[in-house]
Amino acid sequence: MLITSHYAIGDLQGCPESLDDLVARRLPPSSHLRFVGDLVNRGPDSARTLRIVRDLGSRAESVLGNHDIHLLAVAAGVRRPSRSDTLNDILDAPDCDALITWLRHRPLALFENGFLLVHAGVLPQWTAEQTLELAQEVESELRGSNWKAFLSEVFGNTANRWDPRLHGIERHRVVVNALTRLRFCTVDRVMDLKTKDGLGHASDGFMPWFDVPYRRTENVTVVCGHWSTLGLLMRPNLMALDTGCVWGGRLTAARLVPDPLARTVVQVACPQSCDPLA
């Protein structure tokens, strides 16, 4: 019997060489690939990175990261590029519209075989099922005809606390912030959206979202990226895969199998070198 293997892959951030190296030389041919988002920005070739992932077709899927959503908003003309962006290769590409259309149809959360994939994290009060429902609310906005207006309002650090009674854009802002930017939060679901450092840098009362006691996704394995200063973290119910490819680190792939001891990790070096806190 032929069993197709599934791998989750960390943040690419516009580094197609590392992706090519991983896919062409290090992973089994025809294995299925699940990207944790932030396909673009900071690296040298975001356009080629997007095309490679898209052209993998049904072999691959990616959830959206904060840099991907930022690109959508810049391409929509509703958000200014920031000085450290390296997105012009996409914005100036002849196939820009096609790439943006493909990107805005990607999910914000995926659940397969007991693995919940998101870019950054999930709030401790959300179950896997609820996370998917909330992600779908945002996905339908991004896929709808008012996607540009939606993106013009969805950025911001308020509200930073989940409340199921929130509605409209405030509700969606909390969902997008949690799924694509979360690192530290309180037991009472307040998010710290500023701190980018590693585990030792939590403000008073804050802890990594995955260490909040009684987190309601403890019974599944959450697969995420986004936190390069955290590095690779493999626990039975957590796989954090952003190992800072674009920052001179590595690109990480980890096999998605139920047995935690069988989750082989494959890493390739990256020729880039930037400062993650710049």
> Which of 152/229 has CB closer to Mn ion?
229
In the complex, least distance from residue 231 CB atom to Mn ion, rounded to whole angstroms: 14
Q: Helices in 56-92 by DSSP H: which ranges? A: 66-75, 88-91
Q: Tell me: cis bond preceding 253? Omega within 30 of 0 counts.
A: no
> Which of 64/100 has CB closer to Mn ion?
64
Q: What is the 3-state secondary structure (H, E, C) of 261-276?
A: HHCCEEEEECCCCCCC
Residues 6+ apart with CB under 8 A from 271: 17, 18
> Which of 22/40 has CB closer to Mn ion?
40
Taken in order 30, 121, 86, 152, the sign of the CA dihedral is positive
Interacting residues with Mn ion (CB under 5 A): 38, 65-66, 226
In the complex, least distance from residue 193 CB atom to Mn ion, rounded to whole angstroms: 12
Chain residue at closest Cβ approach to Mn ion? 226
In the complex, least distance from residue 25 CB atom to Mn ion, rounded to whole angstroms: 26
- Two structure tokens written together for 61: 């899927």
> Which of 18/66 has CB closer to Mn ion?
66
In the complex, least distance from residue 242 CB atom to Mn ion, rounded to whole angstroms: 7
Q: Tell me the one-letter amino acid at 99.
A: L
> Which of 65/121 has CB closer to Mn ion?
65
- Two structure tokens written together for 76: 């929509």
In the complex, least distance from residue 195 CB atom to Mn ion, rounded to whole angstroms: 14
